[in-house]
Structure formats: structure tokens, C-alpha cells
Amino acid sequence: MLAPADLYKIFGIPDEPTIGVAGTGEYNFEDNNLDCYKLYDFKQTIMYHGLNRDDDYYTKPKNMRKPLHKRKKKYPTVEEFWNSTEPVEFKLAADEKAELGKFRRWFRAQMATVDQLEQSF
């Protein structure tokens, strides 16, 4: 779970998604072994789910009786999503023989610099 705003601060503007309307941005990485990694959001915004309905639709008793994971919910716009500091789930795709352990260590080290970036301003 990562905050989109933190990714934006560290890696800049995300690339155009290659998965169509299911995503709004992706980050592509390559290590010294030429293994490729792709970090992307998947079905997180109104770009995939369509425009939100009125607030009453989401607070109706029929919807509120459902378990949390089955309830209808509002989705953010693309701008709201990438400015959000709330952690959301991102997907990570990699080559077959990519060394995910090394990538995760490097990625966590990069994400740890978010606090340092905020203090340097």
C-alpha cells in the first residue's frame, strides 16, 4: 500500500498507462540486469468506474447493510487520486527472472526518502 502523492514526489509524473482505461499512470523501472518492473494503479479512479453518483446513493440502507468490501463506493478523479496521501494498492509486474527482493529493497529505500524531501523545503 502506497500513497500516490509520495510516488509523485519521488519519481515525478507517471507515464501513460499501457493497460487502457483500467489504469491512470505507471512507473517503469529497469535494473542493471535489464530486468523490467512496472508499478501501476489498477481500477482505482472514475476513469475505469465512471462518474460518481449522488451521495444519497452510497448511504442508502441497502448499501450500508452490505459488508465493507461489497459496498458501492465513490472513486476519486485522476487528479484527486495522484494528490492523495491515503495509501492505496498498486500492482507490480516484473520479468520472469527479475530479482524482486533486490527491487523491493531499493524501492523501500527510495520511499524512505519522502520524509527527507518534505523537510528539505
Q: How many domains does the chain have?
A: 1
The average confidence (pLDDT) of the chain is 92
∠ Cα 41 45 47 (to 5°) = 105
Tell how many helices (H) and how many strands (E) occur in the chain.
7, 3
What per-residue confidence (pLDDT) applies to 116? 74
Residues of the chain below pLDDT 50: 121
What per-residue confidence (pLDDT) applies to 71? 94
Please give the single-letter amino acid code of residue 87: P
Residue ranges making up the domain that contains 39? 4-119
